[in-house]
Amino acid sequence: MNDDDIAEERIERLDAFARSMARAGERDRAREAVRLARRIAQRHRCGVPRRFERFTCDDCDAYLIPGRNARVRLREASHVVVRCDCGATARYPYRE
């Protein structure tokens, strides 16, 4: 196993940990896990999984749970709009 494989595995584990902490109501611990995963990805120059990227807020590093701390809307222009409680908005394309 090289360093990149180890980094990707740590990022995946931190993703699962952040998701479980956010669902349990431990928002601060989830936020710290998101920050750590992003730092590891930057240090090793590897990307984060798409699901992790889409369910984290770029502004406040919160792990987003639709209906709890995020609002998700589908628009006619074939994109998804995700708005965090902090007010940050992210748009992602989708195909029908």
Measured N-to-C along each axis, helices 27-44 and 3-24 cross at an angle, to the nearest 10 degrees, of 160
Domain span including residue 65:
3-93
Indicate the pLDDT class of residue 3, thresholds 50, 70 and 90.
Answer: confident
CA 55 to each of CA 2, 5, 42: distance values in angstroms, whole numbers, following the listed order: 28, 22, 18
The per-residue pLDDT for 2 is 84
Give me the number of domains the chain comprises: 1
Amino acid residing at 9 = E
Question: What mean pLDDT do residues 32-42 have?
Answer: 97
Q: How many CB atoms lie within 10 A of CB 46?
A: 14
Instruction: Write down the pTM of the prediction.
Output: 0.90
The 10s digit of each residue's pLDDT in 38-92 is 999 999 999 899 999 999 999 999 999 999 999 999 998 889 999 999 999 999 9
